[in-house]
Structure 1
Amino acid sequence: MPVWIDGRPAALLPVTDRGLAYGDGLFETIAVRQGHIALLERHLQRLGEGARRLALPLDLALVRSELLAFAGELGHGVAKLIVTRGDGQRGYAPPADAHCRRILSGNPPPAYPVGHRLDGIRLHPCATRLAEQPLLAGLKHLNRLEQVLARAEWQDPACAEGLMCDSSGRVIEGVFSNLFMVRGGELLTPSLARCGVAGVMRAEILVRAAAAGVATRIGDLDCAELLAADEVFLCNSQYGIWPVVALDCHRWPVGELTRKLQGLLVDLVDA
């Protein structure tokens, strides 16, 4: 599968790269279908916001052109874009003349079981908590150690994802997904003001649901509210929506609104 560094085929990365040394950068995991990039504008918007907040001197027009060219070469699969602050000397202080490095790698599309989408999944309740850091909240930055620790908690194939809470006990997201719940016909999703990743599919679902007349709300949600929900589902940019049917001994049905929203996303997700 192809790998590009700064717009050219390459396979070697300098050990002085600040992404490697400090996690000083961002990434996007992008679905490519027949050479077309799904949710391109949302990926670029999130990347641009992350670059602004981390003060990365990123040329978004250049990133767009490289992504389009790379998707054409990849054809069908997953493009992972990593943007770092580039090379630097020892020490945390960002170099004054930083030059962002752009790394693109391609992989085949994920082979998720069809049953995850149709029948729903079980969640593992992760003991690993997300630290609350508003300065980084919402960003898809390169430090994913919390997710690494959380994913290492279970090996049971019966659980397809894990539920993560913050240090105060609020429910936030899955290990690699965003969380939604339905209560009384209203679509709810946790606030990401303190921690968590603002997923592009989450943003798209909120817009499409509102356009379809569904009441939506973003706010602080705790475990009691999750257990009291009528429906629960997860989403990400690769698989769309997975209904959640179980967490420990608790059960939810695959609900009507979950099915409706799955239908609204058929143009973005592989069948």
Structure 2
Amino acid sequence: MIARMLIDGRMRGQVSALDRGLGYGDGLFETIRFVGADAPLWARHMQRLEEGCRRLGLPMPGPAMLLDEARAVSRDMSGAVVRVTLTRGEGARGYKPPAQPQPTRIVAAFDPPPPDDAAQADGIRVRLCATSLAAQPLLAGLKHLNRLEQVLARAEWDDPAITEGLLCDADGLAISATSANLFAVSGKMLATPAVDRCGVAGVGRAEVLAAWPHAQVRSIPLEELRRADELFLSSSVRGILPVRELDARAFAVGPVARALQAHWRELGF
């Protein structure tokens, strides 16, 4: 449920039907967890948004203005998920972008997901999706508006016992979950899939890599993933989610996931 929404700084709820975000998915978004008036990963979200703007050729809004608007829409909420959406704005019909875009800026606050203590303590069940991610290095890593691959993947199941779906690329390399990044522990080594050909470079993933500087970023074949000692997901909204089952393969909730859950609590979540 949306609590409040600002569009270009004004309290309203509609955008133009000619907006390129609607017509072409031409834009970016960030989904930011707030605890009261604070967002522990705000700086990382702004860093990724700035990189996305640079790569797509969009003017970057001022982070201070975005923070003011995020706090305005989430005011009086003890916790919130604030989505910041930036599109290239209105344009003529056709793919050619306007020479001088006038971006549309949408800042909306949502209720956070309810606490799931069982998932944090015991882990979640994950299934392998038939949908695969297409390689596109020009867009890889970005949180751009075209999420149809994830939509199709999430439509593959409706079993409430399954929390997430695992996505691979066309070569059978594990990439991520539908809305979280993936980590595997084998022996004493932590690794996460590279996202230089497809996938999203998550903010939660960046925080894990900063907290665990010897972690590897590399290709991870699906079969290697199934042999791992420990699997977990990272999400800036949901935190660290241990995986207890991938299809029929069971995993223990391991010490690395527990250590990173403690790190998440230290951040203020």
Q: Could you say which TM-score interval applies, normalised by the shorter chain?
A: over 0.9
- Counting aligned pairs with the same residue, the percent is 48
Counterpart of 2:167 in structure 1 is 164
List per-residue Cα deviations over 1:214-235 (Å, max 9, x = no partner).
x310000001110111100001
Structure 2 counterparts to residues 36-51 of structure 1, below 5 A: 36-51=38-53
Counterpart of 1:28 in structure 2 is 30
Deviation at 1:67, TM superposition (A): 3.2
Within the alignment, does 1:147 sit opposite 2:150 as a pair?
Answer: yes
Matched residues, number: 266
Counterpart of 1:125 in structure 2 is 128
List per-residue Cα deviations over 1:187-234 (Å, max 9, x = no partner).
100000100011001000111123xxxx31000000111011110000
Distance in structure 1 (CA, Å) of the matches to 2:215 and 2:122: 24
Aligned to 1:15, the other structure's residue is in SS state: coil
Unaligned runs of 5+ in 2: none
Within the alignment, does 1:238 sit opposite 2:237 as a pair?
Answer: yes
Counterpart of 1:99 in structure 2 is 102
Q: Letter of the aligned partner of 2:221 in structure 1?
A: D
Counterpart pick for 2:81 among 54, 78, 98: 78
Structure 2 counterparts to residues 176-215 of structure 1, below 5 A: 176-210=179-213, 215=214
Counterpart of 1:216 in structure 2 is 215
Aligned to 1:32, the other structure's residue is in SS state: strand
Distance in structure 1 (CA, Å) of the matches to 2:201 and 2:77: 26
Deviation at 1:75, TM superposition (A): 4.8
List per-residue Cα deviations over 1:166-202 (Å, max 9, x = no partner).
1111000000000000111111000001000110010
Counterpart of 1:263 in structure 2 is 262
Distance in structure 2 (CA, Å) of the matches to 1:112 and 1:259: 17
Deviation at 1:120, TM superposition (A): 0.3
Unaligned runs of 5+ in 1: none
Q: Is contact 1:77-1:107 (8 Å) kept?
A: yes
Distance in structure 2 (CA, Å) of the matches to 1:200 and 1:264: 15
List per-residue Cα deviations over 1:217-270 (Å, max 9, x = no partner).
000000111011110000101111110011121111001111111111103464
Aligned to 1:127, the other structure's residue is in SS state: strand
Aligned-residue Cα RMSD (Å) equals 1.4
Q: Letter of the aligned partner of 1:90 in structure 2?
A: R
Counterpart of 1:137 in structure 2 is 140
List per-residue Cα deviations over 1:56-86 (Å, max 9, x = no partner).
1223344344334444465521101110000
Counterpart of 1:249 in structure 2 is 248
Counterpart of 2:54 in structure 1 is 52
Distance in structure 2 (CA, Å) of the matches to 1:260 and 1:75: 26
Moved more, 169-178 or 238-247: 238-247
TM normalised by structure 2 equals 0.95
TM normalised by structure 1 equals 0.94
Distance in structure 1 (CA, Å) of the matches to 2:268 and 2:185: 22
Q: Letter of the aligned partner of 1:30 in structure 2?
A: I
